[in-house]
Amino acid sequence: MIKIDTPYDVNQVKTIYSYRESEAVRVCDIKRVSILGSTGSIGRNALDIALMHPEKFKITVLAAGNNVNLLAEQIKIFKPEIAVVLNERKADELKSILPSNSGIEIYWGDEGYKLAASHKSVDAVLLAMVGAAGLMPALAAIDAQKHIALANKETLVMAGELVMAKAAEKGVKIYPVDSEHSAIFQCIGEKVGQHFYANMDENNFNNSSNNPNKKNNNYVKKIFLTASGGPFRNTPFEKFKDIKPEHALNHPTWNMGSKITIDSATLMNKALEIVEAVRLFNVPVSDIEVIVHPQSIVHSMVGFNDGSIIAQMGLPDMKSAISYALSYPERLDLKIDFPDFATLGHLIFEKPDISKFPSLEFAVEACKQGGTLPAVMNAANEIAVNAFLNNEIDFPKIFTIIEKTMKMHRNIERHEDIIKESERNTISYTLDDVINADKWARETATSLKF
């Protein structure tokens, strides 16, 4: 964090949000932020927050994938120091759109994303790329000891133990952007009176290198992970084969990118979130209960040892969780309404139907076996979702591909039941094992498409 005059183009900010000039130019603490995935749903929400709070955030790095037109628009508004795109062709395309005097440095590919996550001009990194592509930049951000706001859940699913161990070693805090994990963090961190990130080392919470398999706190008894249930909650399984991408992309409560929207329809999103919660909060999978809550008002709940349950609520708007992850412990004014409880009348909770949505069982198995199996589950899901979006497979085949790939995998495992107490401080697989397992799972899942 540095103290500088806000370098915003005040006229630009004024045009967009009618800011009073006196507000926009005052001298204040500004967090310099890198956004990886700036053209996506999370990235765009984050940029809206930055525009609403120019006194808090200066965007110094923007990284996208293919959408250079939108990135160019963002560059014009936010004037970052560097921008990153998927490949050299996209970099050339971006250069051709931007004015020659833009002064921005443009990079591409894996090295570019790692640079975006670790650049010297950055205090905080929002990791909002989709899929496995997020892992290496996340590790680069940890290495560079940045404040991390993590939306890319795939990072923690693939290599959560390794990532959390590295974060603990480097003294880096990872703030969750996923609304459920933000909710859990808010319930645990704020209400128990022990801001667990502040006391991370004493509590060993969010610090799986110390003891990845055993709960280190004695007050959190249960995590109730809420799920909207997706658009097919009430669709009979026999009809699943008729589901087309356009049906599955129509999420009832959240407006998100296409991959996570399909994941929500299969409940694979919740499966990924189970693993994410196990890794992030260092709780055993048996302490996590998924509960379907179609209104998406309760974003998750935590049950404590005295029988109390604390829930975090709000309208489904990702800006809350994104801004909290970036500005913790401060809460920013986001002009978001409260739910109208009287109109809602009641909040609905249901048991998930595992016979229709086996995804949750995949996650439990992945957590129990650990090792490289979660990475395999994630990779098989990415291949299956892509195939479904390209109309190569039908909806139920997503489950078949993931299940078969997981069953075929020869795990480099660290099974919860068999691991010895003396071995609990070590992680018995490496990042290379994870990367190899990811590659193997992609090839295997691809071969299962037909």
Ligand X SMILES: NC(=O)c1ccc[n+]([C@@H]2O[C@H](COP(=O)([O-])OP(=O)(O)OC[C@H]3O[C@@H](n4cnc5c(N)ncnc54)[C@H](OP(=O)(O)O)[C@@H]3O)[C@@H](O)[C@H]2O)c1
**Which positions lie near ligand X, rule CB under 6 A?**
37-43, 64-67, 86, 128-130, 133, 151-154, 178, 254, 256-260, 318
At its nearest, how many Å lie between ligand X and the CB of residue 242? 25
Of the pair 24, 64, the CB lying nearest ligand X is at 64
Mapped onto helix, strand or coil, the DSSP state of residue 408 is helix
C-alpha dihedral sign at 143, 149, 154, 158? positive
Of the pair 314, 411, the CB lying nearest ligand X is at 314
Of the pair 44, 404, the CB lying nearest ligand X is at 44
Of the pair 50, 427, the CB lying nearest ligand X is at 50
At its nearest, how many Å lie between ligand X and the CB of residue 255? 7
Peptide bond into 236 cis (omega under 30): no
Cα–Cα distance measured from residue 22 to residue 18, given in angstroms and rounded to the nearest whole number: 12
Q: Counting every residue, how long is the chain?
A: 450
Of the pair 83, 364, the CB lying nearest ligand X is at 83
Of the pair 42, 384, the CB lying nearest ligand X is at 42
At its nearest, how many Å lie between ligand X and the CB of residue 178? 4
CA torsion 195-197-198-200 (nearest 10°) is 110
What are the percentages of helix, strand and coil residues in the chain, rounded to 5? 50, 15, 40
At its nearest, how many Å lie between ligand X and the CB of residue 47? 11
Of the pair 30, 360, the CB lying nearest ligand X is at 360
A 10 A CB-CB count for 10 gives: 15
Structure tokens at 65: 């994938």
Of the pair 30, 128, the CB lying nearest ligand X is at 128
At its nearest, how many Å lie between ligand X and the CB of residue 361? 20
At its nearest, how many Å lie between ligand X and the CB of residue 70? 7
At its nearest, how many Å lie between ligand X and the CB of residue 311? 18
Q: Where are the alpha helices (DSSP H) in 101-193?
A: 109-118, 135-143, 153-170, 179-191
Q: Burial letters for 37-64: b for 16+ Cβ neighbours within 10 Å, e otherwise?
A: bbbbbbbbbbbbbbbbbbbbbbbbbbbb
Q: What are phi and psi of 288, to 5 degrees?
A: -110, 125
Of the pair 14, 76, the CB lying nearest ligand X is at 76
Chain position whose Cβ is nearest to ligand X: 40
At its nearest, how many Å lie between ligand X and the CB of residue 292? 17
Of the pair 19, 108, the CB lying nearest ligand X is at 108
At its nearest, how many Å lie between ligand X and the CB of residue 223? 17
Contact 179, 149 (CB under 8 A): no
Is 394 exposed, middle or buried, given 0-12, 13-18 or 19+ CB atoms closer than 10 A? Answer: middle
DSSP string, 335-366: -PPPP-HHHH-----B---TTT-THHHHHHHH
At its nearest, how many Å lie between ligand X and the CB of residue 4? 27
Q: Burial letters for 354-371: b for 16+ Cβ neighbours within 10 Å, e otherwise?
A: eebbbbbebbbbbbebbb
Cα–Cα distance measured from residue 2 to residue 325, given in angstroms and rounded to the nearest whole number: 19
